[in-house]
């Protein structure tokens, strides 16, 4: 595939323009999302961004490259032309998400919130920390992110289970359950971590029935916001099925001011920062994929199946 005309858009388009290699033999337009016109889309061979812009269409482009790890903004419940290639940025998302999860798990086990309150009123209240080693974690999703997260947890003595569509064995996971046995996978977990993409199978997957199978687990969502039924999550926290929810992604972002999650004592809210794409990762991943495409390579590790959504 030969690519000549490229549109870059999204929140880092100016930084990408500044980092663009001067010798690249391409026609490139760096535009804010609101500036991309239908004429730009008709001109472009390739579209690079985090999500579709208002003028986005697939009539002329041959390749869409997502600057983030997730591609649901492009394909979930949306039509896709089968002859248009879809790829995504990979980078170090697994390590970043692993560090994010570990930071919140350790803060909970080391009672950081309780000690912060004790400090505010100068109360000497020694609470023994709990060990991470020996705990049981279920990672929902066994792709590259889930496997790296499992590797980091297993290295610290954690018993890691995974959940995938078919339940195939994966590195660094002591056991992998098929989606049909998801209830068994979460019932004995101390922590449940969602890394799944958004698909018809995962939309509102975390609802009343699944939360009811949990027994005081901590829940971390670094996958996709629409995978969680927010009302069911709040009920699970209030009923004790969950003791803590760490949430980085939401169905509506930014999270509305009126959301009860902001004030719930057992919810931790972060603004979609678990795995932020850097300029170096974004541009390096794009240029590497471009090189492989123009060299005629067919096997692309970051290629996405638009039908499956990952």
Given the residues 136, 151, 175, 272, the one annotated as active site: 272
Given the residues 148, 224, 241, 281, the one annotated as active site: 224
- pLDDT at position 24 is 73
Question: Whose CA is closest to 102, among 179, 160, 142?
Answer: 160
Given the residues 253, 280, 294, 297, the one annotated as active site: 253
Q: Tokens in use for 308?
A: 């499956």
Q: Is 224 a catalytic residue?
A: yes
- pLDDT at position 22 is 79
Question: Whose CA is closest to 88, among 66, 73, 63, 107?
Answer: 66
* pLDDT mean values, one per 10 residues, the chain (310 residues): 96 97 89 98 98 97 97 96 96 96 98 95 96 98 97 98 97 97 97 97 98 98 98 98 98 98 98 97 96 94 95
Q: Is 253 a catalytic residue?
A: yes
- pLDDT at position 23 is 72
Which domains are present in the chain?
5-89+277-294 (3.40.50.720), 93-269 (3.40.50.720)
> With contact defined as beta carbons under 8 Å apart, do 211 and 235 qualify?
yes
Q: CA 199, CA 77: separation in Å to the nearest integer? A: 9
- pLDDT at position 119 is 94
> With contact defined as beta carbons under 8 Å apart, do 12 and 67 qualify?
yes
Report how far apart, in Å, the C-alpha atoms of 248 and of each of 46, 156, 220 are. 30, 23, 8
């Amino acid at each position: 595939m030969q690519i000549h005309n490229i549109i870059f858009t999204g929140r880092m388009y100016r930084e990408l323009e500044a980092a663009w290699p001067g010798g690249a033999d391409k026609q490139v337009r760096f535009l804010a999302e609101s500036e991309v016109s239908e004429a730009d889309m008709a001109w472009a061979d390739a579209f690079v961004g985090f999500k579709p812009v208002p003028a986005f269409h697939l009539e002329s482009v041959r390749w869409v490259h997502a600057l983030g790890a997730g591609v649901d903004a492009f394909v979930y419940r949306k039509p896709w032309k089968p002859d248009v290639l879809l790829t995504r940025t990979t980078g170090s998302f697994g390590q970043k998400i692993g560090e994010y999860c570990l930071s919140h798990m350790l803060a909970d086990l080391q009672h950081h919130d309780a000690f912060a309150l004790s400090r505010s009123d100068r109360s000497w209240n020694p609470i023994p920390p709990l060990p991470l080693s020996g705990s049981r974690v279920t990672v929902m999703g066994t792709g590259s992110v889930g496997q790296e997260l499992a590797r980091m947890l297993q290295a610290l003595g954690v018993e890691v289970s995974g959940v995938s569509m078919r339940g195939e064995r994966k590195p660094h996971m002591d056991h992998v359950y098929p989606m049909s046995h998801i209830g068994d996978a979460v019932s004995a977990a101390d922590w449940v971590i969602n890394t799944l993409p958004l698909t018809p199978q995962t939309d509102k997957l975390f609802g009343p029935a699944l939360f009811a199978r949990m027994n005081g687990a901590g829940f971390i969502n670094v996958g996709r916001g629409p995978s969680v039924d927010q009302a069911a999550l709040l009920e699970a926290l209030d009923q004790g099925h969950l003791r803590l929810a760490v949430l980085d992604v939401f169905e509506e972002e930014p999270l509305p001011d009126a959301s009860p999650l902001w004030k719930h004592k057992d919810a931790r809210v972060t603004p979609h920062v678990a795995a932020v794409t850097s300029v170096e990762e974004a541009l390096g991943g794009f240029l590497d994929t471009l090189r492989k495409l123009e060299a005629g390579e067919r096997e692309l590790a970051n290629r996405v199946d638009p039908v499956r959504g990952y």
